[in-house]
């Protein structure tokens, strides 16, 4: 039942992206009626690139596509809002705003993220993304986006609008920040919990020096963490429901201390935060991971 709802959501979102040129695109062109032909063509090309990248990422799920759509979706959402504010308030403007916001916000959903990371899954494997740390969401993520995607798009539009020096400065800023920003963005998309026949593997370069396998035969419980739990927190203060994996016997984990150093720890229980904890618990219950997983899933259904 959950899978069918997820597929329905994905196809509705794909349809929203496919009709963007006929809705939000028309709103954008109407907002640029009084602009020069150079600026209109430039804005059209930038919008077409964002639209094409989003379509490819949604139609051909892949982790690289997830990085691309996370960079482009805000462009669509913000562009639809700006176009609706600048343009005339007609029916097409409201439709363009609604479709643009739905496409942009929907593309950032956990369903899309999990579909993309599963684009490279193989065999009896299922992947679920982990939530980004709150410190990243409130700091580096929006700053890096503004310094790269925001600066590049704004700079190109400024040049097309005649503000050459200011535009070149923005483009130079965006180009200089693009490589480290893209690496950081893509690294965040690779953080995930992976169900495999042997158990569940946590892949998180922020918390672990190496992937951590929670063997199914050694996993006693998997479910929502109780208040006051003694489990070691590997969530990096990510927002959302924390899940706890409790082992029958402790496992050795190389906890990352900084970029190049790690510390070995014997861990009997740990905490992590998936983007969609309900979907993780449902998959865990299907695979028979601990009594708590089954109980939690049943209570959420």
Q: Give the tens place of pLDDT for each residue, 58-103.
A: 999 999 999 999 999 998 998 888 888 876 667 777 888 899 999 9
Structure-block tokens of residue 52: 């094409």
- For residue 252, what pLDDT is reported? 94
Dihedral sign computed on CA atoms, order 84, 90, 96, 102:
positive
* CA pair distance 53, 73, nearest whole angstrom: 9
Query: Is the distance from CB of 190 to CB of 157 less than 8 angstroms?
Result: no
Backbone angles phi, psi at 235, to 5 degrees: -85, -15
- Sites in the chain below the pLDDT cut of 50: 292-301
- For residue 94, what pLDDT is reported? 84
CB-side neighbour CA atoms (13 Å) of 251: 22
Backbone angles phi, psi at 23, to 5 degrees: -120, -80
For residue 76, give every residue at least 6 positions away whose Cβ sits within 8 Å of its Cβ, in sequence order, or none.
20, 24, 50, 51, 54, 100, 103, 104, 107
HEC letters along the chain: CHHHHHHHHHHHHHHHHHCHHHCHHHHHHHHCCCCCHHHHHHHHHHHHHHHHHHHHHHHCCCHHHHHHHHHHHHHHHHHHHHHHHHCCCCHHHHHHHHHHHHHHHHCCCHHHHHHHHHHHCCCCCEEEEECCCHHHHCCHHHHHHHHHHHHHHHHHHHHHCCCHHHHHHHHHHHHHHHHHHHHHHHHHHCCEEEEECCEEEEECCCCECCCEEEEHHHEEEEEECCCCCCCEECCCCCCCCCEEEEEEEEEEEEEECCCCCEEEEEEEEEEECECCHHHHHHHHHHCCCHHHHHHHHHHHC
Whats the size of the chain, residue-wise?
A: 301
Instruction: Find the angle CA(42)-CA(178)-CA(176) to the nearest 5 degrees.
Output: 95
Edge to edge, the sheet with strand 262-272 lists: 219-224, 243-256, 262-272, 232-233
């Amino acid at each position: 039942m959950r899978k069918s709802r997820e597929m329905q959501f994905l196809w509705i979102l794909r349809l929203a992206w496919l009709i963007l040129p006929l809705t939000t695109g028309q709103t954008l062109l109407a907002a640029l009626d009084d602009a020069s032909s150079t600026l209109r063509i430039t804005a059209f090309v930038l919008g077409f690139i964002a639209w094409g990248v989003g379509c490819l990422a949604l139609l051909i799920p892949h982790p690289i596509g997830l990085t691309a759509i996370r960079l482009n979706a805000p462009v669509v959402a913000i562009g639809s809002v700006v176009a609706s504010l600048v343009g005339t308030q007609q029916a097409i403007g409201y439709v363009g705003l609604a479709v643009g916001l739905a496409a942009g916000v929907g593309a950032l959903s956990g369903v899309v993220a999990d579909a993309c990371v599963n684009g490279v899954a193989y065999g009896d494997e299922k992947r679920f993304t982990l939530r980004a740390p709150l410190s990243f969401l409130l700091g580096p993520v929006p700053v890096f986006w503004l310094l790269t995607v925001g600066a590049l798009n704004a700079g190109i539009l400024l040049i097309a609008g005649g503000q050459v020096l200011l535009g070149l400065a923005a483009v130079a800023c965006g180009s200089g920040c693009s490589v480290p920003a893209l690496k950081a963005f893509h690294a965040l998309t690779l953080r995930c919990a992976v169900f495999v026949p042997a158990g569940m593997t946590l892949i998180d370069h922020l918390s672990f020096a190496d992937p951590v396998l929670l063997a199914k035969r050694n996993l006693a419980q998997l479910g929502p963490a109780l208040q006051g739990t003694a489990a070691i927190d590997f969530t990096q203060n990510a927002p959302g429901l924390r899940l706890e994996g409790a082992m029958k016997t402790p496992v050795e984990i190389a906890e990352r201390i900084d970029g190049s150093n790690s510390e070995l720890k014997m861990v009997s229980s740990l905490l992590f935060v998936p983007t969609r904890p309900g979907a993780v618990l449902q998959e865990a219950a299907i695979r028979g991971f601990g009594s708590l997983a089954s109980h939690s899933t049943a209570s959420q259904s």
